[in-house]
Structure 1
Amino acid sequence: MSAPLDLTPAASKDSVIRPRRNGNSRNTEVTRLLPRSLLISVTAFLCAIVLIPMLYIVLASLNTDVGVANGELIPSTFTAENYSKIWTTVRLGNGLANSLLVAGTTAVVCATLSVSTAYVLVRFTFKGRLGILRGLLAMQSIPGTLMVLPVFVLFSSAATYLGVTIIGTHWGLFLTYLTFALPFSTWVMVTYLRGLPKELEEAARIDGASSMGILFRIIIPLSWPGIVVSGIFAFLLGWNDVLFASVITRPDTQTAAVALQIFGAATEGGAVPPYGQMMAAALVCAAPVVILYLIFQRYLVGGLTAGGVK
C-alpha cells in the first residue's frame, strides 16, 4: 500500500517547523546594556544627583537667611522677598543686560562665521587647509588662564599706541569671547558639514548656482542643528565666564557672573550672609540658559550626534 501524498504547501511546513521570531524584542535585548531594574535604578540615581541640589536651591531662595543658616531643608516661613531684593543689592539687572548683550552677540557672530569658514575648509582644497584644521584643534588645548595677562596687555597697548579704548567696553569683551569660541564652533561645523551629501551641491552647480548661492540656499538651511550647537556653546562661554569679565570690564559693563562673584565676596565676614538672595540670584542667572536649552533641544540632539554615523 503506497503512502499518502503530502499536499501541505512548503510555506506552511516552514512556518510549522521554524516559528517566526519577534525581531523587535530581539533588537531590544541586544541594544539594552543593563537589565531593566538596574537601568531604572541608575536613571533615578542620576536624576536625584541633579534634582536634589536644584530643589534645595529653590527652597533656600524662598527661605530667610536665618533659616538657611540654621540648616532648614524645608522653610518654616516661605517668603519671596529675596527675589525682589536682588535687583538692588546685587545689581543683577545691569549684569543680566550686559551678559545678554555680549553673550548673545558672540553667539550670533560666532555661528555665522563658523558655518562660512567650515564650508570653505570642507568643500575647497587649498594650500594650508590641513594646517588651519590642525590649528583649530591645537587652540582648544590652551587653557584660558594662560591668556588673561596677554589679552589684557594687548588691549591696554591698543589704548596707548592706537588711541582705541578696549578695556572696560562691551566690544572688548565681545572680541575676547569671539577669539576663544570661534575655533570650537568652526570645528563643530566642520564635523557637521562633512556629513552632508555633496550631490546636492553638484546638482545646484549644474543648475548654475554660485558658491555663495549654495552656501545660503543649501548649506545653511540644512545645517541649522550644527549652527544652533555652535551658537549655544559660544553663548555659554560668554555667559559663564568670570575670569576675563572681571579683568576687562568696569562696574557699568560687568556681567551677571561677575556681579554674583562680587556680591558673594562682599558678604563674607558678616553676621548672617544673605544666603536666600544668593540662591535667588543663582536661579535667575540660570533661567536664560535653561530656557535656551528647552527652546533648541531638538536642534541640539541633531547637532551633537551629527558626524558620528556615516
Structure 2
Amino acid sequence: MNPVLRLLPRPLQAALTVLLLAIVAAPVGYVVLASVNTDLAVAAGEFWPKQLTLANYRQIWSTVPLGRGLANSLLVAGTVAVACALVGVFSAYVLVRYAFRGRRTVLRALLGMQSIPGTLLLLPVFVLFATIGDTLGVATIGTRWSLFVTYLTFGLPFATWIMVTYLRGLPGELMEAARIDGAGTWQILSRIVIPLSWPGLVVAAIFSFLLGWNDVLFASVMTNVDTRTAAVVLQVFGTSQEGGAIPPYGQAMAAALVCALPVVTLYLAFQRYIVGGLTAGGVK
C-alpha cells in the first residue's frame, strides 16, 4: 500500500489494532477462564482460576436440557437458512431479470420490512398463530414449525436483498446465451445462477441462520419445554439454583461457549465466501 494513502502512521495503526483486539478478546477470555473455574470463585470476582477444572463442561448437559436445545436450534435455524437462501435467490432472479409493474414497490417493501423492530411484532405474531391454532384445531404455539415460519418472515427480506445485490453484478449475457441455446429458466438457475452465486448464498444462509440461532424474544414465547432453543435454555441457568444457592456461573459460561461453537465454525469455514458475498456489488 502506498504510504501516502495511509490515514495513520504505521505505529499508531499497530497500537490501535492491538487496542481493538484487546477490547474484543477481554470478554471472550473472561468467559473462557470462568468456564474452567468454580461458581464460588466466579461469584467472588476471581478472574484467573486457581485450579482449572472441566467439571462445568460435564455438568451442563444434566443441569438443563442443553443437548435438546442445541438440536432444536440446529434444526430450526438450519432449515431457515436453507429456505431463505433458496427462496431468496429465486425471488432475486425474478426481481433482477424481469421487468414488471410493481417491481420497485416490492423492493422498497422488502427494504421497509427491515426497519420494523421485532419487539413490535411479538404480540401480533403470537396472537396470529394462536388464532390459527384455535381456528384449525392444530397445535401452533410451542411447535418448531411456528418458530420456523416466524424466522422465515424476518429472514427472507434480508436474504432476498443480498441476492438482488449479488445477481445485479452477474453478467446478463450468460443467461441470455443459455436461453438462446435452449435452456429453460430452471436450467439457467441450477446451472448458471446458483453455481455463480455461492458467496451471496452463503452470506444469506449464515445471516438467516444467526437470526434463528441468536433469537431469544420469539423463541421464549413461541416454544415450550420440549421445543426450547439453545438461546432460551441458556436463560434457564440463571434460575436453576436451589434455595438461594450461588447461580451456576461457571456452567453458564461453559454453555455459552458450547452454543457459540457452531457459529464460529460457520464463520471459519465460509469466511472466504462471506467476504466475497458482502462486497459484491460494491464496485461497479
TM-score (norm 2): 0.97
Instruction: Tell me if the contact between 2:240 and 2:247 (Cα under 8 Å) persists in the aligned partners.
Output: no
| Preserved contact between residue 239 and residue 247 of structure 2 (Cα < 8 Å) | no
Query: Match of 1:14?
Result: none
Q: Distance in 2 between matches of 1:80 and 1:184?
A: 40
* TM-aligned CA deviation for residue 267 of structure 1: 4.0
- For residue 266 of structure 2, the aligned residue among 274, 292, 307 is 292
- 1:273 Cα deviation from its structure 2 partner: 1.7
Do the aligned residues in 1 keep the contact of 2:77 with 2:208 (CA within 8 Å)? yes
Q: What is the match of residue 95 of structure 1?
A: 69
Matched, 1:50 2:24: yes
Measure how far apart 1:307 and its partner are.
0.6
CA deviations on 1:153-205 (whole Å, 9 max, x unpaired) are 11111111122221111111000000110000000100111111111112212
Pairwise mapping of residues 145-224 of structure 1 onto structure 2 (< 5 A)? 145-224=119-198
Matched AA of 1:290: V
Amino acid at match of 1:282: A
Q: Which amino acid aligns with 1:255?
A: T
Output the amino acid matched with 1:237.
Answer: L
| 1:235-288 CA distance string (max 9 Å, x none) | 000000001001110100000110111222444983322111111011011111
Gaps of 5+ in 1: 1-26
RMSD: 1.3
- In 1: Cα distance, 2:122 partner to 2:30 partner: 35
Q: Deviations over 1:21-59 (max 9, x none)?
A: xxxxxx522432221011101111111111111111111
CA contact (8 A) 2:80 2:209 kept: yes
1:39 equivalent in structure 2: 13
SS at the partner of 1:126? coil
**1:108 aligned residue:** 82
Cα distance in 1, alignment partners of residues 78 and 170 from structure 2: 27
Deviation at 1:141, TM superposition (A): 0.6
Deviation at 1:70, TM superposition (A): 2.1
| Residue 62 in structure 1 maps to residue 54 in structure 2 | no
Residue among 124, 140, 143 paired with 2:117: 143
Equivalent runs, 1:262-277 vs 2, <5 Å: 262-267=236-241, 270-277=244-251
User: In structure 1, what is the Cα distance between the partners aligned to 2:253 and 2:264?
Assistant: 16
Identity of aligned residues (%): 68
Q: Which residue of 1 aligns with 2:51?
A: 77
What is the distance in 2 between the residues matched to 1:47 and 1:269? Answer: 41
Quick one: which amino acid aligns to residue 48 of structure 1? A
- Paired residues of 2:92 and 2:167 also in contact (CA < 8 A): yes
Residues in 2 aligned to 1:88 and 1:181: alpha-carbon distance in whole angstroms: 33
Cα separation, 1, equivalents of 2:233 and 2:217: 12
**Aligned length in residues:** 284
Hey, what does 1:6 align to over in structure 2?
none
Q: Distance in 1 between matches of 2:243 and 2:14?
A: 45
* Structure ID, larger Rg: 1
- For 2:62 and 2:82, how far apart are their aligned partners in 1? 30
Give the Cα–Cα distance (whole angstroms) in 1 for the partners of residues 2 and 139 of structure 2.
62
Consecutive unaligned residues in structure 2, runs of 5 or more: none
Q: CA 1:183/1:71 → structure 2, altered by over 3 Å: closer, same or farther?
A: same
The answer (yes or no) to whether the contact 2:237–2:248 under 8 Å persists in 1 is no
Instruction: Report which stretch shifted further, 169-178 or 269-278.
Output: 269-278
Distance 1:191 1:102 in 2: 26
